Amino acid sequence: MLGTPNRDRVSERRQATRREILDAAWDMAREHGLSQITLRDVAARVGMQAPSLYSHFASKNAIYDAMFEQAWTDCYETMLAIQDRRAKTPRAKLRLYAHTFFRFAVADLARHQLMNQRTIPGFEPSAAGYAPAVAVIERLRERLRAIGITRDEDVDLYTALVGGLLDAQFANDPGGNRWARLVDRAVDMFADNVGLPRDSRDTNQP
Q: What is the CATH number of the domain that holds 112?
A: 1.10.357.10
Report the distance separating Cα 35 and Cα 38, nearest Å.
8
Q: Are residues 73 and 168 in the same domain?
A: yes
Q: 126 and 48 in one domain?
A: no
Please report the pLDDT score of residue 10 as a whole number. 75
Per-residue pLDDT reduced to its tens digit, 112-143: 999 999 889 899 999 999 999 999 999 999 99
Domains in the chain, number? 2
Q: Are residues 88 and 119 in the same domain?
A: yes
Tell me, yes or no, whether 69 and 53 share the same domain: no
pTM to 2 decimal places: 0.89
User: Any idea what the CATH number is for the domain that residue 26 is in?
Assistant: 1.10.10.60
- Shared domain check, 99 and 135: yes
In a domain? residue 108: yes
Quickly state the pLDDT bin for 64 (edges 50, 70, 90): very high
Q: How far apart are the first and last CA of the chain?
A: 72
**Tell me: the pLDDT tens digits for 65-78?**
999 999 999 999 99
Q: Return the closest-CA partner of residue 107 out of 16, 190, 26, 20.
A: 26
91 with 164, same domain: the answer is yes
Of the residues 38, 58, 78, the one at which a domain ends: 58
Looking at the domain assignment, is residue 66 inside a domain?
yes
Instruction: Residue 151: give the domain boundaries.
Output: 60-197
Average pLDDT over residues 193-198: 95
How many C-beta atoms surround the C-beta of residue 139 within 10 A?
A: 15
Which among 75, 138, 73 is positioned nearest to 107, based on CA atoms?
75
Q: Give dist(CA 96, CA 126) in Å, integer.
A: 30
Residue 3 in domain: no
77 and 144 part of one domain? yes
Please indicate, yes or no, whether residues 51 and 75 belong to a single structural domain of this protein. no
